[in-house]
Structure 1
Amino acid sequence: MTAISTSLKKKTRRPTLRIRDVNATLEALKRNGMTPTALDTLPDGTFRWHFTPPAQEDGDELDRELAEFDRKHGYS
C-alpha cells in the first residue's frame, strides 16, 4: 500500500465538546446583552445558537384534530 491510500482510509475526528467552552461562550453572550434560548450541536461538531424563543402553540396536532372532530360531530 502507498501512503496515500492508507491516509484516505483514516477517519477524521469530530471536534470534542467541552462544557467549559460552551459555558464560556454563554457567559460572553450574556455579558454582551444576548440571551440564547437554545443550542444545537450539528453533526460536524459546530454549534448553532438560537436567540428567538419558540412560538407558543395552542396544543399539539393531535389535540387540534380532536377538537376539530368534536366540532364537526357536535360534541363540543
Structure 2
Amino acid sequence: MENRLRIRASDGKAYEVDRWCPHSKSDLASRGVVMGSKLVCTRHNWTFSLDQGGKCTSADATINACLIDDW
C-alpha cells in the first residue's frame, strides 16, 4: 500500500489513488489537497478528478482513482 493512498472527497466518498504525482513524482500524501471531488498536487497545481477515475484536468495523466466502500 505504500504506492497508494486513501483519501476522502468533500462529499464523503472515499477513494484509493496513486501516491505519486505522474507529473513531478511529488508525494501526494504531503503535497495533495482535496478540493471538492478533485485532488490538487500543490507542487505544480496539477488537478485530478477523483470522480472520473483520477484523470488530470490539464494533461493526459491519471492517479488511477478507485471508489472504495469500506473506509
Q: Under a length normalisation based on structure 1, what TM-score does the superposition of the two structures give?
A: 0.28
* Larger Rg belongs to: 1
Relative contact order, CA 8 A, sep 6+: which one is greater? 2
Considering fraction of residues, name the structure with more helix. 1
